[in-house]
Amino acid sequence: MPRFAANLTMLYNELPFLDRFGAAAKSGFQAVEFLFPYDFTAKDIAQRLHDNGLELVLHNLPAGNWAAGERGIACHPGRVGEFREGVLKALEYAALLSPPRMNALAGIAQVGVSEADARKTLVANLKFAADKLGDHGIQLVMEPINTFDIPGFFVNHTAQALAIMDEVGSPNLYLQYDIYHAQRMEGELAATMKQHLARIGHIQLADNPARNEPGTGEINYRFLFEHLDAIGYAGHIGCEYKPRDTSPGGTDAGLGWVQVHGQTL
């Protein structure tokens, strides 16, 4: 049966970030993920994980100026030094947080930079990050993201991501398969996950089109959960969705999808 991780960037948004850990544990989650830890001390986050008996399964490497609209810098030729400094910063946090994997966001293609130069930069940065994280027993994942939500994102299809992974050539680089993004860009969810299961390091979910809870859109999540069991996926599934109920308590109000789809937290 799939194991679910609460994405604390997306869920429990009525609460300050550090208070979301307790809310997730109270709801029944045993694992969490989030985009970034860097606005807080590793000590404070580690304490919340410990106090609430939670496992951290994923967070991202630093991804540039998120508040200004940047969505990663791994494909930006002029910022290789910044990317590599970010990897080292993430490893400082890992000393206390012990995440089993981190995600490298490729970023939005830059105007004036050729696709070939952006790809060359991305490949080199991924190789650097995969090697550095691997030295610490941490898996690196990379994620295709749909270009409806993030226009111009450099990696947006599964086949493209896999080809880049082949070019990197690292045994420590895996695919982060976000069901929502994949549905928007290409569909063929079940067959793709089965075909590439050995290369998938992490899975995330949300329904399409509104990126809300499973059962609010077009994706047959009951089928997919059973399918993931059948093909032997043993990892966590990150609940990276926007609660349809945006009022305080909306995350908990929307968790009925778990039982409706025959699952438990």
For residue 248, the model assigns a pLDDT of: 96
Q: What is the mean pLDDT of the chain?
A: 98
User: Rounded mean pLDDT of 34-41?
Assistant: 98
For residue 154, the model assigns a pLDDT of: 98
Instruction: Write the CATH number of the domain with boundaries 3-260.
Output: 3.20.20.150
Tell me the β-bridge partners of 4.
Answer: 237
Contacts 24+ apart (CB under 8 A), 162-167: 162/196, 162/199, 164/119, 164/122, 164/123, 164/126, 165/126, 165/199, 167/119, 167/123
Active-site residue flag, 188? no
Catalytic residue among 14, 85, 92, 240: 240
Catalytic residue among 70, 143, 188, 218: 143
**Domain range list for the chain:** 3-260
Active-site residue flag, 240? yes
List pLDDT tens digits, range 38-71: 999 999 999 999 999 999 999 999 999 999 999 9
**pLDDT range class, residue 1, cuts 50, 70, 90:** confident
User: Rounded mean pLDDT of 7-28?
Assistant: 98
Please give the share of the chain, as a percent, with pLDDT higher than 70: 100
Global confidence as pTM: 0.97
Q: Are 182 and 147 in contact (CB under 8 A)?
A: no
Q: Are 169 and 202 in contact (CB under 8 A)?
A: no
User: Rounded mean pLDDT of 150-155?
Assistant: 98
Task: Please say if the pLDDT value at position 156 is more than 90.
Answer: yes
List pLDDT tens digits, range 173-230: 999 999 999 999 999 999 999 999 999 999 999 999 999 999 999 999 999 999 999 9
